[in-house]
Amino acid sequence: MKLGIIFLTGMIPFTFSCKKTSNHPVPSIPFDISINTSLPSYNSLQGVGGWTYVNGGVQGIVVYRKSSDEFVAFDRKSPISSSECKKPLTTNPDNFLQLEDSCTNAKFSLFDGSPISGSEFGLRQYQTQWNGSSILRIFN
């Protein structure tokens, strides 16, 4: 009996430490879209390293093709901009693998959404699913 109490007591901190809370400043809104990468408007996603903007999310989505079968999608709403700033993140003209917040000058990696400078939060990432030929599903 004593061993059982010790075991349960030892598990309580572990249980609470694994609890995930979402305190990301960009809200999580449900959506589910599919894009056909063979269409001319998504031509830039045909090759590895290509990116494009897509409607959806809070302030639009940027999609980046990391490899032949891996895509990432991030919301263009900056995690640090105030409500007065309505400008979505844009690609950095000097480095297309970076997104910039023009209101705060914060920079983020297009490759993985991590903050480069000016923010403790990374970008809100969405799930992607590639059918292997031309349809990319982006959802939350």
Residue 19 lies in a domain: no
What's the pTM value of the predicted model, to 2 decimals?
0.82
Q: Where do we find the tokens 């000016």?
A: 118
Task: Read off the pLDDT of residues 72-121 as tens digits, 9 standing for 90 and up.
Answer: 999 999 999 777 778 999 998 888 899 999 999 999 999 999 999 999 99
Residue 121 lies in a domain: yes
Find the DSSP H helices in 33-119. none
Contact 138, 26 (CB under 8 A): no
Number of domains in the chain: 1
C-alpha neighbours within 13 Å on the C-beta side of residue 62: 28
Residue 88 to residues 67, 96, 131: CA-CA distances in angstroms?
Answer: 25, 15, 29
- CATH number for the domain spanning 61: value is 2.102.10.10
Provide the domain limits for residue 72. Answer: 28-139
Looking at residue 129, its amino acid is Q
